[in-house]
Amino acid sequence: MKTIKLSVLDQSPVISGHSPQQAIQQTLRLAQAAEELGYHRYWCAEHHSIMALADPCPEILVTRLAAATKTIRVGTDGVLLPYYSPLKVAEQFRMLEALFPGRIDLGIGRAPGGDQATATAMGQGRYPSADDFPEQVQYLAAYLDDDLPDGHPFRQVRAQPAGDTSPQIWLLGSSDYSGALAAQLGLRFAFAHFISARGGDVVMRDYKKRYQPSPREPQPQALVCVFVICADTQAQAERLAQSVDLRRLNMDYGVNAPVPTLEEAERYPYTDADRQRIAQHHRRRVVLGTPDVVKQRLLEIQAEFEADELMVITITGDYDSRLRSYELLAGVFALERPAATAA
């Protein structure tokens, strides 16, 4: 049986009672643990002006995480490209590749990563449109690979530092748009099941069916990212999920607040409509339970999506139970820990 690669997505959650600085330190702690546990990749997400999420600049955080680890691939989920110059992003990731060759992933997306006011502020008073996203992606890949065509006005421009290796490029999405674009451009594709739990399997199969090979990626490569809470008992997993239930409810109501602790979630005065919304909308995007239960469901999702890799995002109301969830998952999947490296 083919071994499934298992990876981590970290949004650097700020849990109530903790500072954003503490959240970043917990990201560092989790990245080092993930490497020791045998996870394949560790991706950092980009969000802006969100009280519950501490990382607005994953390209900087990736540098710190790669320096604190030795073997795990480190990357972004993702750089929100409509905000930025493709050339500048290419330069940043060529630098990362020079520092940590063969370990850097460049995940890119087109979402705003915050509310409309924040996105407009990022655009210096103009709401950044994603209309040019396909062209931006093509420029980014061309700069990374020094592959602008002869006669192009920017052909002489080089993204430094040049090198023999290049970061992997992943297009991120929760709809058919990014999957279709990744297939057209011959790039890797990551589907966010934790955002959209319905229809992603069709999107990913269509990506593979329509894939156009490229010099960078002769074969399609796809992963699915799933929200997971793994605990020693089913009851404990159900209880831990209450923090993210309330976090998502706050998002629905426009409440910009840190991730609730379990105690705060248990005290919250839910209405019947709240409970119905959680059950019908939010819990559909969560895989929770004991290690065996979670493993079985993740393998079902992997098969439904025909995914080459699985990525897991976990947020709970305390950092220790989040780490414990990843430990249990690594154990039930029997992840291979990296070989000891001489100092």
Q: 64-98, pLDDT tens digit by residue? A: 999 999 999 999 998 999 999 999 999 999 999 99
Report how far residue 89's alpha carbon sits from residue 241's, in angstroms, rounded to the nearest whole number. 36
First CA to last CA distance, the chain: 35
Domain residues for the domain of 11 are: 5-227+289-332
Q: 261 Cβ partners below 8 Å, 6+ apart?
A: 15, 16, 17, 243, 317, 318
Does residue 264 belong to any structural domain of this protein?
A: no
Residue 267 in domain = no
Over residues 10-21, the mean pLDDT reads 98
Specify the number of domains making up the chain. 1
What pTM was computed for the model? 0.95
What confidence score (pLDDT) does residue 62 get?
98
Residue with tokens 């970043």: 24
Question: Is the residue at 86 inside a domain?
Answer: yes
For the chain, how big is the Rg over CA atoms in Å?
20
CA gap 214, 217 in Å, rounded: 5
Query: Does residue 263 belong to any structural domain of this protein?
Result: no
Residue 69 maps to a domain: yes
* pLDDT of res. 258: 98
Please list the alpha-helical segments (H only) found in 17-169.
20-37, 58-67, 86-99, 116-122, 133-145
Query: Tokens standing for 102?
Result: 């063969």
Distance of alpha carbon 30 from alpha carbon 35, whole angstroms: 9
Residue 52 maps to a domain: yes
- For residue 338, name the pLDDT band (cuts at 50, 70, 90): confident
Q: 343: exposed, middle or buried (C-beta count within 10 Å: 0-12, 13-18, 19+)?
A: exposed
Does the residue 197 lie in any domain? yes
User: What are the two backbone dihedrals, phi and then psi, of residue 109, each rounded to the nearest 5 degrees?
Assistant: -140, 175
> H or E element: which one contains 312?
strand 309-313
- State pLDDT tens for residues 169-190: 999 999 999 999 999 999 999 9
Place of tokens 């691939």: 73
Output phi, psi for 241, to 5 deg.
Answer: -65, -15
Assigned token pair, 301: 């999702």
The CATH number assigned to the domain holding 163 equals 3.20.20.30
pLDDT one-digit tens code per residue, 191-212: 999 999 999 999 999 999 999 9
134-173: pLDDT as tens digits: 999 999 999 999 999 889 999 999 999 999 999 999 999 9
